[in-house]
């Protein structure tokens, strides 16, 4: 059974204080690992898809990395508008392309 | 970029009635769409996979007679909650994938259902 574990559950940062969110996963075969941002009461907003160990992708202050067991979402010099819940999900090979989600990390960036 | 749209964004219905939620892919065709449910402060749980032109595939524990899914076209999937009860109140979200392997997966804005 595919499993995704995110840590920490909640993270409070001061504006400009860089940090990383962790996503550990077990999957029979990885087709892709996804990062999403979700604001309260809204659907998830697509950030990145990573496909193979060693891959990295960047978008503004966010950088996602992938190993064979985990992924990190690095947030550099965050701003209050980065406050949201960040969700990690895996898509397994042989699946019908559905995603298995972690429980998310709730990030709060204080001004 | 690709957009997935849901309607309505919020709906209140009485116990025992049925309510339909629509999920549309606005600028791409989606042979497969997915329906998720999310309780407050919890992550997304897959309910079913909606397949264009064929029956939906439901996850274990999801009642297919209660949550009717129809994927009549390449851009529209609908979820109908039948004989709704207060415990069906939740945030329902659909998604669809684009790209060669459908690996860029976009989500709709979600639909808040409140059953009173």
Say if residues A95 and A1 touch (Cβ distance below 8 Å).
no
Q: Is B39 on the interface with A (CB under 8 A)?
A: no
Q: Is the pLDDT of residue B21 over 60?
A: yes
Give the mutation candidate from A25, A32, A44, A102 for the B interface (greatest B CB count, under 10 A).
A44
Output the pLDDT for position B54.
Answer: 87
- Closest residue in A to B42 (Cα–Cα): A103
Q: Is the pLDDT of residue B1 over 70?
A: no
pLDDT in tens, B26-74: 988 888 899 999 988 888 999 999 988 889 999 999 999 999 999 989 9
Output the pLDDT for position B99.
Answer: 67
> Could you tell me the pLDDT band of residue B18, with boundaries at 50, 70 and 90?
very high
Output the pLDDT for position A28.
Answer: 86
pLDDT in tens, A18-36: 999 999 999 988 989 999 9
First to last CA, chain B: 37
- B103 and A44: CB-CB below 8 Å? no
User: Measured between alpha carbons, how far is residue B41 from residues A84, A94, B78 in Å?
Assistant: 12, 30, 25
pLDDT in tens, A79-104: 999 999 999 999 988 776 788 999 99
To 10 degrees, the CA torsion angle through B13, A99, A24, A49? -120
Closest CA to A48 of A60, A92, A81, B27: A60
């Amino acid at each position: 059974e595919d499993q995704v574990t995110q840590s920490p559950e909640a993270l409070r940062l001061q504006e400009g204080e860089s940090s990383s969110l962790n996503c550990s996963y077990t999957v029979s075969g990885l087709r892709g690992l996804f990062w999403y941002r979700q604001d309260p009461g809204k659907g998830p907003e697509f950030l990145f898809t990573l496909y193979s160990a060693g891959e990295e992708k960047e978008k503004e202050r966010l950088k996602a990395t992938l190993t064979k067991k985990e992924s990190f979402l690095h947030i550099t010099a965050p701003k209050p508008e980065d406050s949201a819940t960040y969700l990690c999900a895996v898509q397994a090979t042989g699946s019908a392309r559905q995603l298995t989600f972690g429980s998310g990390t709730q990030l709060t960036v204080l001004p | 970029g690709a957009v997935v749209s849901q309607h309505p964004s919020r709906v209140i219905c009485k116990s025992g009635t049925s309510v339909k939620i629509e999920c549309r892919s606005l600028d791409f065709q989606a042979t497969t769409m997915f329906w998720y449910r999310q309780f407050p402060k919890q992550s997304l749980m897959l309910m079913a996979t909606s397949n264009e032109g064929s029956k939906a595939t439901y996850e274990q524990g999801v009642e297919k007679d209660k949550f009717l899914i129809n994927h009549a076209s390449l851009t529209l999937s609908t979820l109908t909650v039948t004989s709704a009860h207060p415990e069906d109140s939740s945030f329902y979200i659909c998604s669809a994938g684009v790209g060669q392997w459908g690996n860029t997966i976009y989500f709709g804005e979600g639909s808040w259902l409140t059953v009173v």
